[in-house]
Structure 1
Amino acid sequence: MVTVDDKITVMVLLHRVWKKHPTHVDFLGLYIPNNNQYSSQAHGLIGQFGQEPEVRVFNLHQGADPLKKEATMEVKGNKLVVTRGWQKDYRQDNKRGSDVFCWFIHNSGKGFIDGHYTNYIVPRLDSFLPLPL
């Protein structure tokens, strides 16, 4: 956990999945409390969600999977197709997590995040550092 000036807290956790799983891979979970005091100049994924956007979910209906409802989510003036499913929340129990319902956004988050998701991928954690001369 990193805290800056008692105003901004970010927790990063490494989540491991089953060894040799055919589709799931280890991932970093980034957890940011709602009470953070980001500058209005913050950008990127953190800047977009430093202040929780206004969201409206409607048109709830049965999805292709009977255990997962589908709906329309309106956010940032965009209407997006979403599916409701289970996800692990590791904020309280960072080893086992707790099961919570989440809305999963289709189409790689298009319309929910600014730009294309590939804009946020870095090849290495240190790739933003200047190269030595």
Structure 2
Amino acid sequence: MARLLQIPTLSDDRGTLSVIEKILPFEIKRVFYIYNVTSPRGGHAHHKTCLALISLGGECQIEVNTYGEKSTYTLNSPSMCLLLDPQDWHTMHSFTPNTTLLVLASENYDAQDYIYEEPQPQ
């Protein structure tokens, strides 16, 4: 089930530093980022892959459907992380200009890991 995680963040007169160390429930095997978005992204779930999504700048909405139960999350701070379990069918949309969405994944890319059929209420 999707959940928000506060990333440990330190601030002083030099700026702000957020640290992702020993807080994710998985080992990071793949890193990618999404930007210059002109239409919704995602639209799938996974068999094995867990994800951590962080907006490094700008804002976007993440719609999550877990076994027919829907939730919407707003990512607009680099100190907040949305954790997605494999069964969390997700779509990212409503990107503001210059948004960069960082994605940390528990598995390497595997086309067979993707589920494109959205879950229906039971």
TM-score (norm 2): 0.26
When Rg is computed on C-alpha atoms for both structures, the one with the higher figure is 1
Higher relative contact order (CA 8 A, sep 6+): 2
| More strand, by proportion | 2
Q: TM-score, normalised by structure 1?
A: 0.24
Greater share of helix: 1
